[in-house]
Amino acid sequence: MMTLSLPSPAIISPPPSLKPSNPSRQKLQSSSSTTSPPFINLETHNSRLIHNHLNDGHLLKAVAALDFAAQQGDYPADIQTYSLLLKACIRTREFHLGKLVHSRLTQSRLDPDSVTLNSLISLYAKCGDSNRADTIFKSMGEKRDLVSWSAMISCLANCGRELDAVQMFVETLECGFRPNEYCFSAVIRACSNTENVSIGKIIFGFLMKCGYLEREVCVGCALIDMFVKGSGDLDSAYKVFDKMTDRNVVAWTLMITRCAQLGYPRDAVGFFTDMILSGFVPDRFTLSGVVSACAELESLMLGKQLHSWVIRMGLASDVCVGCSLVDMYAKCTTEGSVDDSRKVFDRMPEQNVMSWTAIITGYVQSGDCDKEAIRLFCQMIEGNVAPNHFTFASVLKACGNLLNLFVGEQVYTHAVKRGLGLDNIVGNSLINMYSRSGKIEEARKAFESLFEKNLVSYNTMVNAYAKNLNSEEAFEILNEIEDTGIVVSAYTYASLLSGASSIGAIGMGEKIHGRILKSGFASNYCVCNALISMYSRCGNIEAAFQVFKEMRDRNLISWTSMITGFAKHGSAARALEIFHDMLRAGVRPNGITYIAVLSACSHVGLISEGWKHFRSMSKEHGIVPRMEHYACMVDLLGRSGSLVEALEFIKSMPLVADVLVWRTFLGACRVHSDTELGKHAAKMILEQDPNDPAAYILLSNLYASAGQWKDVADIRRSMKERNLMKEAGCSWIEVENVVHKFHVGETSHPQAREIYGELDHLALKIKELGYVPDISCVLHELDEEQKVQYLFQHSEKIAVTFGLISTSKSKPIRVFKNLRVCGDCHTAIKYISAVTGREIVLRDSNRFHHIKDGTCSCNDYW
């Protein structure tokens, strides 16, 4: 059992008085009358006056009367009045007045009773001054009662001295006190963290024997928080809540908010429904919590119903509820929801930093309103509302989305001027902005300059390196996370899985999955969605589907991720089947879902099916097609060779086709070798963005495949003059948790000699089987022999060969490429799978190719 070593008791040490009072007491002056006036008990008179002010709700007048009497040298009040004053100061959170009352109490030389001293402990506990509260507690001696011990435990728990609070609870027991519900709830609150939750579970067993769990709401709420905050154990929190016989609005609200925070928004909505059916009236905190749950579910219909409820209850002007509504409308990506978010914001009678930050963040989250978010930020500054670290983080994210470093660095300078330059949240957003803009060195400098790195900091750097295929640095950061001892939560695992999926590191992903199963986070929808994405992006679509099937609570992201996964793997039938299952389950699709559905149709040439879904978007679900949806239709038509029809579709669009649409069309022209239409597409791109390197590269490749080498040379010269760089093609493969990256003609790899020896051997074997090199895939002016030699130096072939000599024959070889796979490599790898008997999974920038026994899942339609 823990023991405490306490110093000797000390006297109460009050704060300095605001004005020194006269220690002598003034006597009543006799009047001119010969008879003496009646005796007036000043102590009783002043106490009555103070009581009257308190009864009228005038705390300031009551304290002023006390202070005035003390300054005049009168008897200010009796000890009961001091006690009432202190309690009033605590209740109204007027702590500065409470300190003044304490000062006058000390000067009065009255002997405070235990009730008054307990109030003083609570006063300084609320002020966050645990040292002064401790001094008062130690001075009490024999006056300490259970309330004193409970107040001190609560003080220490609230002031971040959790272990001291637990030790004081043990000393309470050793002194012979039997804890009550307030004492238990205070020490449980001290255990509501990952470090002390094991101690909390021991105390939980103790209070079960005392029978407080079922009787007291405050104990039940403290336990719910302990299980949720300490170990993310929502199941135990459910059990505690079920055993509570006397629930109130606070208990219901706690369950709703904790479910939403832990990633179970559907459960949060369920608790809200049960609460209403049980006859409880929600308050502003309840409504804020359930609206936040709707935001996570992207359930606009339910969100609007709750908005109506908010209006009927007269809470539309509440800042807390208003911010939740702004966030909900912004996250529900249905067309027009961002406008609804702005309407809620504009109707708020008082706009503070919370509401401004909510609307700015909402515009950033909507996907295409980053410029408006920056404009709102400027408007906020002009309105003399000081932005906080969350505001700066959102604006920096907007700058990152726009790749606008110039504005982003100005915003960060503004944050520095306001003293927020070293804030973690601001720093993490700065890292993200640089990494999205491809400035990895600047991102690393921002990362290293952080005063205290957290999981978001590490994960942002992992993603930055992963997106730039710096696998060694990415895994170095992942390993550093483990070495720091950062407490792993559901979001930690989701973040790590995101880093692993970015570089196709399925070995690392499987390792993280194992830890998830042991940690109890396997049912968390956020983690499950990350697992689906990881397995899908790493090439194991069946493992992704298994996770999806086992999910207890699926949201729109879960369904959309699975549809996207099947689409990328060329399984259009399964993608559409999941889509129809989603509709039958009552989950409303959004614009991103339809991008996945249209992509599924595009990858296998389901033209009529694609048209059907494109038309149903607005007719059945009210989703106005955006540029991405039009690009999907252009891709669908272009892949099938219907280039003229695709061009007519572009011309008929109600929107002016942007670079994305024309680039998609140009890619189709490249595949089908239509030089004239390709030139037109490139012209349209360069009119909008004269410095788009992709347009030059695609057109150059189109000319090269047609043998128009002079035009190729002209384009390359133009790119050089504009200082435009072509993205270097590379392929990579993970072997034993190490990612090996290869470029064309790679010779720096330690096993390069062995790789090329095996590749020469394979070349002979596949030629015997019927492989003929497709020299049209060589986009350089070389003689035929050089072209054949060049083809066998492509990064895809090198990576596959390394996989053959480095992995077990029982495992598939998974290779990833940053660009579209070369046609000759696609053919050669099919032959390699046939001669070696190995399954080869190849992911390029467009889709997955599952190659086995000489055939590919794409059926050569890619």
Residues 221, 88, single domain; the answer is: yes
pLDDT at residue 119 is higher than 80: yes
Give domain status of residue 53, yes or no. Answer: yes
Residues 757, 815, single domain; the answer is: yes
Q: Tell me: the pLDDT tens digits for 100-111?
A: 888 888 888 788
Q: How many Å apart are CA 815 and CA 838, to the nearest integer?
A: 13
Residues 745, 720, single domain; the answer is: no
Band (13; pLDDT cuts 50, 70, 90): very low
Residues 734, 683, single domain; the answer is: no
pLDDT at residue 35 is higher than 70: no
Band (61; pLDDT cuts 50, 70, 90): confident
Give domain status of residue 176, yes or no. Answer: yes
Region 191-201: mean pLDDT is 85
Give domain status of residue 108, yes or no. Answer: yes
For 727, the token pair is 């993205």
pLDDT at residue 421 is higher than 70: yes
Give domain status of residue 178, yes or no. Answer: yes
Band (25; pLDDT cuts 50, 70, 90): very low
Q: What is the pTM of this model?
A: 0.59
Band (473; pLDDT cuts 50, 70, 90): confident
Burial of 162-191, coded b for 16+ CB within 10 Å and e otherwise, reads: bebbbbbbebbeeeebebbbbbbbbbbbbb
DSSP state of 848: E
Q: What does the pLDDT read at residue 99?
A: 86
DSSP state of 486: P
For 620, the token pair is 């059945």
3-state SS, 507-562, equals HHHHHHHHHHHHHCCCCCHHHHHHHHHHHHHCCCHHHHHHHHHHCCCCCHHHHHHH
Highest mean pLDDT among 91-95, 405-409, 782-786: 405-409
Residues 665, 743, single domain; the answer is: no
Give domain status of residue 17, yes or no. Answer: no
Q: What does the pLDDT read at residue 482?
A: 67
Residues 842, 701, single domain; the answer is: no
- 579 compared with 423, residue with greater pLDDT: 579
Which among 237, 229, 302 has a CA at the least distance from the CA of 265?
302
CB atoms within 10 A of CB 496: 26
- The CATH number that applies at residue 111 is 1.25.40.10
pLDDT at residue 350 is higher than 90: no
Q: What does the pLDDT read at residue 796?
A: 92
Band (20; pLDDT cuts 50, 70, 90): very low
Q: Tell me: the pLDDT tens digits for 677-689?
A: 888 888 888 888 8
The string of DSSP codes covering 416-435 is HHTT-TT-HHHHHHHHHHHH
Residues 676, 708, single domain; the answer is: yes
Of the three residues 691, 710, 726, the one that is the final residue of a domain is 726
Residues 663, 767, single domain; the answer is: no
CB atoms within 10 A of CB 245: 11
pLDDT at residue 502 is higher than 80: no
- The CATH number that applies at residue 643 is 1.25.40
Q: Which amino acid is at 834?
A: A
Q: Tell me: the pLDDT tens digits for 42-54?
A: 456 667 778 887 7
For 4, the token pair is 């405490």
- Tally of domains in the chain: 3
Region 499-506: mean pLDDT is 80
For 607, the token pair is 């033209």
Q: Tell me: the pLDDT tens digits for 575-632?
A: 999 999 999 998 888 888 999 999 999 988 899 999 999 999 988 888 888 889 999 9
Give domain status of residue 124, yes or no. Answer: yes
Q: Which of 396-410, 448-462, 479-493 has the lowest mean pLDDT?
A: 479-493
Q: What does the pLDDT read at residue 810?
A: 85
- 591 compared with 73, residue with greater pLDDT: 591
Residues 148, 49, single domain; the answer is: yes
Q: Write the CB contacts of 305 (distance below 8 Å, at least 6 apart in sequence).
A: none
Q: How many Å apart are CA 744 and CA 759, to the nearest integer?
A: 14
pLDDT at residue 21 is higher than 70: no
Give domain status of residue 751, yes or no. Answer: yes
pLDDT at residue 389 is higher than 80: yes
pLDDT at residue 768 is higher than 60: yes
Which among 119, 105, 138 has a CA at the least distance from the CA of 14?
105
Region 510-515: mean pLDDT is 86
Q: What does the pLDDT read at residue 23?
A: 36
Q: Tell me: the pLDDT tens digits for 429-467?
A: 999 899 888 888 899 999 988 888 887 888 788 777 766
pLDDT at residue 81 is higher than 90: no
Q: How many Å apart are CA 785 and CA 708, to the nearest integer?
A: 20
For 476, the token pair is 């170095």
Q: What does the pLDDT read at residue 472?
A: 63
User: How many CA atoms does the CB half-sphere of 316 hold within 13 Å?
Assistant: 14
Average pLDDT value for the chain? 83
Q: Tell me: the pLDDT tens digits for 260-287?
A: 888 788 889 999 999 999 999 999 899 9
Q: What does the pLDDT read at residue 689?
A: 80
CB atoms within 10 A of CB 605: 16
pLDDT at residue 57 is higher than 70: yes
Q: Which of 78-87, 205-214, 679-688 has the lowest mean pLDDT?
A: 205-214
- 635 compared with 195, residue with greater pLDDT: 635
Of the three residues 691, 726, 761, the one that is the final residue of a domain is 726
Residues 809, 768, single domain; the answer is: yes
Q: Beta strands 813-817 and 840-843: pairing type?
A: parallel
Q: Tell me: the pLDDT tens digits for 137-194?
A: 888 888 888 888 888 898 888 888 889 889 889 988 888 888 888 888 889 988 888 7
Of the three residues 726, 748, 775, the one that is the final residue of a domain is 726
Give domain status of residue 824, yes or no. Answer: yes
Quote the domain boundaries for residue 173.
Answer: 42-192+212-226
Residues 671, 811, single domain; the answer is: no
Residues 686, 796, single domain; the answer is: no
